[in-house]
């Protein structure tokens, strides 16, 4: 039973108003909840103190290294609020028998909406037009139509599929690359699997929906940009570090890349001398892909259920180190 067990929650400040059901689920299952609301993640020293007596932790922006994992003397499960777990040292958690979970699909609609929103914003110069109107200038900006254009999706998982469906509704041709093929989905929705190289060569727009791993870090660099169509657009709502920001800035300055929509950054928040601040034709957003009430609530509820399941000897929604479950499953 979960009676007497403790859970730590650390999430952005503006998430608190949507997390009531998450706390309710945990408390109704006998958990004591200790919650902290911050926009940077808890400082390591504070986190080490707080996690000492916790059985589970709903992780937001916190950096979870081996020191933190070792400090959790009772810790059994780290449950990420959302998808990306690049801030969690999974091998260290595995070494210490701690299950790491995330909540796939919880924010797919929200991130897909933002990705397509950035695509539309770039295609029709909406940001520039807004700036002009505020200067009493109604000179029309000449944009491009999406119908008939090719969208290349790197990562056709939960989010990538949602983006594909939205793009198809706009009459776009969709090509995609993913290590796991879902041929039934692709055939049903008129999507063609191709190599990354073909995505670079064929796409008018490229959108990235893959996790940040050792394999995807620096996935798009100068070499890959050279392969792209002149005037291609790039949208990244996945993770900073997947696109080489210096190479992208140079390509935007030269006109090789027509524009970019960037929601994520290699260093967050970006500093004043951030290289992309000096490049033209970029629309930025505040790493807000999953920030809708529905997505926040859904991710919180699923993150809570992951913790409850592990503590009660059941399989969580998605364990990223399933070898650790052997010590918990009944």
In the chain, % helix, strand, coil (3-state, to 5) comes to 40, 20, 40
Residue 198 known to be catalytic: no
Token duo for residue 41 = 């993640």
Query: Is residue 217 classed as helix, strand or coil in its secondary structure?
Result: coil
Residue 239 known to be catalytic: yes
Residue 287 known to be catalytic: yes
Residue where the block lists tokens 């924010």: 107
Pair 83, 107: CB distance under 8 Å: yes
* Interacting residues of 31 by C-beta distance below 8 A, sequence separation 6+: 2, 5, 6, 7, 55, 56, 307, 308
Pair 248, 257: CB distance under 8 Å: yes
* Interacting residues of 81 by C-beta distance below 8 A, sequence separation 6+: 11, 15, 58, 59, 60, 103, 296, 299, 300, 303
DSSP 319: B
Catalytic hit among 224, 239, 245, 298: 239
Catalytic hit among 81, 166, 209, 287: 287
- The catalytic residue positions are 239, 268, 287
């Amino acid at each position: 039973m979960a009676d007497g067990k403790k859970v730590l929650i650390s999430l952005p400040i503006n998430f608190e108003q949507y997390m009531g059901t998450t706390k309710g689920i945990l408390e109704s299952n006998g958990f004591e909840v200790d919650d902290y609301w911050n926009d940077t993640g808890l400082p390591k020293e504070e986190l080490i103190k707080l996690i000492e007596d916790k059985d589970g932790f709903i992780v937001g922006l916190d950096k979870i290294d081996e020191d933190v994992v070792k400090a959790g003397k009772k810790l059994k499960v780290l449950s990420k609020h959302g998808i990306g777990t690049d801030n969690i040292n999974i091998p260290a958690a595995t070494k210490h028998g701690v299950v790491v979970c995330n909540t796939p699909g919880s924010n797919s609609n929200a991130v897909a909406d933002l990705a397509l929103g950035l695509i539309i914003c770039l295609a029709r110069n909406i940001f520039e037009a807004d700036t002009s109107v505020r200067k009493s200038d109604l000179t029309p900006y000449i944009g491009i139509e999406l119908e008939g254009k090719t969208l290349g999706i790197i990562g056709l998982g939960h989010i990538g599929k949602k983006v594909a469906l939205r793009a198809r509704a706009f009459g776009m041709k969709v090509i995609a690359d993913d290590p796991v093929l879902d041929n039934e989905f692709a055939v049903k929705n008129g999507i063609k699997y191709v190599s990354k190289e073909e995505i670079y060569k064929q796409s008018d727009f490229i959108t990235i929906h893959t996790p940040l791993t050792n394999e995807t870090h620096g996935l798009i660099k100068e070499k890959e940009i050279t392969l792209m169509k002149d005037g291609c657009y790039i949208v990244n709502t996945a993770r900073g570090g997947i696109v080489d920001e210096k190479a992208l800035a140079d390509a935007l300055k030269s006109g090789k890349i027509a524009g970019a929509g960037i929601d994520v950054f290699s260093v967050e928040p970006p500093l004043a001398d951030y290289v992309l601040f000096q490049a033209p034709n970029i629309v930025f957003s505040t790493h807000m892909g999953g920030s809708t009430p529905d997505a926040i609530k859904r991710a919180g509820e699923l993150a809570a259920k992951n913790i409850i399941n592990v503590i009660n000897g059941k399989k969580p929604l998605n364990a990223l180190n399933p070898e650790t479950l052997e010590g918990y499953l009944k």
